[in-house]
Amino acid sequence: MEKNITMSSFSITSISSALSNDLQQKIDTKTKPPGSLGRLETLALQIGRIQNTLTPELKSPTILVFAGDHGITEEGVSPFPQEVTAQMVHNFLSGGAAINAFCKQNKLRLHVVDAGVKGDFPEHPDLTAAKIGRGTKNFAQIPAMSQTECDQALKKGAELSRTLPDTECNVIGFGEMGIGNTSSAAALMQRYTGLPLEDCVGKGTGLDDSGLVRKREILKQALDLHEKIQEPQEVLATYGGFEIVMMVGAMLESAVLGRILLVDGFIATSAFLAASRIVPEIQEYAVFTHQSDELGHRRMLEYLQAETLLTLGMRLGEGTGAAVAFPLLQSAVAFLNEMASFESAGVSDRTDGE
């Protein structure tokens, strides 16, 4: 049997602090009161540290959207039929989804990955066929996938990250599509964090109150069924979706390559949580873009000690939060590189007096 993916498979370099003081001084000596650009200042510092430069650049920004179906939908955890996953992939490829609009608006390259959708798709320049299986198994009865399938998905995600069409890409966002994947994300969240299940499970694509109660009951039974599973990758194989696992691999490899990671909402953050359990150093590379309105996302962010750039009440997925937040990174880089300093502008700096 092939050896499982290990931490050594993803050698993520811890970000150097060598330039931190110089970056902070550059930020503080711009023609503004210290700290007056708020989060843009901490964002500029993070980007400069990730790229290890005083003059960072954002090159070939890309959003990867991973799609996969989930066997847990057999339990009625979503009000939408499973066929919607494939239908939405067709929508992405025809340019009709929200993520298409936001990527076009902000000049982001969009690429869709079939990680495990039940349906088939014609060849398309913006689609990668990387199907591990035609949907996962029902984890309320058996593990969602085998460890071999999990390793295959991790490796494929890493490969897709390494072989992006534009090799200059240094900022990458992650989105997903998969009916039932909020159940997968909630189960992963509960198992990784130990938080009460009630804090992890939300209405997903629009369950009513009775549907939410049933969803919690199903997930509690599934967590009890696999309660002995604790090792991070076994947890991922037991509850994950093919799109989530492939996203984990792509996130890890993108950090190996030194990219800025734009982490979207609830599903993408659950993938990031799994990635951080495999290689903790990945967290230094992450920009958490949007706090989803899905119950559980705020608690997961708190667990990760992460603060998002935006809170807009969205809960769509697809990478939309990453795409909408991207201009804030551009603003952070712009002020760092283009704003005058007190000295260069001939403006008097503050004094320590009155």
Residues labelled catalytic: 318
| Residue 121 near residue 90 (C-beta atoms within 8 A) | yes
For the beta carbon of residue 344, count every other beta carbon within 10 angstroms.
Answer: 11
Q: For residues 153 and 247, give the distance between their C-alpha atoms in angstroms, rounded to a whole number.
A: 8
List the one residue out of 246, 330, 245, 318 whose CA is nearest residue 287.
Answer: 330
- Write the Ramachandran bin of 135: left for phi over 0, alpha for psi from -120 to 50, otherwise beta: left
Amino acid residing at 266: F
Q: Residue 192 has which token pair?
A: 């990784």
For the beta carbon of residue 1, count every other beta carbon within 10 angstroms.
Answer: 6
- Determine the Cα angle at 77 with ends 74 and 80, to 5°: 85
List the one residue out of 200, 206, 155, 205 whose CA is nearest residue 299.
Answer: 200
Alpha-carbon dihedral angle through residues 44, 48, 53, 56, given to the nearest 10 degrees: -60
Sign (positive/negative) of CA torsion 257, 150, 240, 81? Answer: positive
| Residue 264 near residue 319 (C-beta atoms within 8 A) | yes
* Bridge partners of residue 174, in order along the sequence: 64, 263
User: Helix 232-239 and helix 242-256: axis angle, to 10°?
Assistant: 140
